[in-house]
């Protein structure tokens, strides 16, 4: 796809959102505009990432708070990884830390949800952030080389 616009990133975002809605590639929430898409195969994508050497060797993983990463956050906890997740805007700390050693396994799925990490996550300031081994960022689109476009 060739994007012709004063702002090619904005045009690409709008194109991706329009196609994903038109092709019914997103269960919810709709409309997509201004959001990181919660795509249907996000759980499969999470399992695929968990099979990588980078994931397996990581101790602490920063994972974006978007709905499409909930399965990944859950799997990370299930596999014993510490998870750092940024809070929603308006907070005075940088991350929630989810430590599977401090959360009963029966609550890992809940802890991976937005409501859960807001309730069970430990609020971390800059000086309290553990060493991060892997960062998973949200995107609306990305190139084959890995360059990404966020929600704007």
pLDDT digits (tens, 9 = 90+) for 24-77: 999 989 998 988 999 899 999 999 999 999 999 999 999 999 999 999 999 999
Is 62 among the domain residues? Answer: yes
Range of the domain at 63: 42-136
Is 95 among the domain residues? Answer: yes
Specify the number of domains making up the chain. 1
Is 28 among the domain residues? Answer: no
87-102 confidence digits (pLDDT tens): 988 888 999 999 999 9
Is 87 among the domain residues? Answer: yes
Is 73 among the domain residues? Answer: yes
Q: What share of the chain is helix, strand, coil (3-state, %, to 5)?
A: 40, 15, 45
**Confidence (pTM):** 0.88
Q: Is the pLDDT of residue 11 over 70?
A: yes
Is 114 among the domain residues? Answer: yes
What is the H or E stretch that residue 134 is in? Answer: strand 134-136
Is 71 among the domain residues? Answer: yes
Tokens of 36: 């990181």
Is 9 among the domain residues? Answer: no
């Amino acid at each position: 796809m060739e994007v012709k616009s004063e702002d090619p990133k904005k045009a690409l975002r709008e194109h991706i959102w329009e196609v994903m809605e038109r092709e019914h590639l997103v269960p919810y929430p709709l409309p997509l505009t201004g959001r990181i898409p919660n795509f249907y195969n996000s759980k499969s994508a999470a399992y695929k990432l968990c099979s990588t050497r980078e994931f397996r060797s990581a101790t602490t993983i920063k994972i974006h708070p978007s709905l499409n990463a909930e399965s990944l956050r859950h799997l990370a906890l299930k596999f014993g990884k510490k998870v750092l997740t940024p809070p929603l805007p308006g907070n005075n700390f940088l991350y929630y830390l989810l430590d599977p050693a401090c959360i009963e396994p029966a609550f890992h799925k809940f802890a991976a949800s937005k409501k859960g990490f807001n309730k069970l996550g430990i609020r971390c300031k800059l000086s309290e952030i553990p060493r991060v081994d892997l960062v998973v960022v949200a995107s609306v689109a990305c190139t084959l080389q890995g360059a990404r476009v966020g929600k704007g």
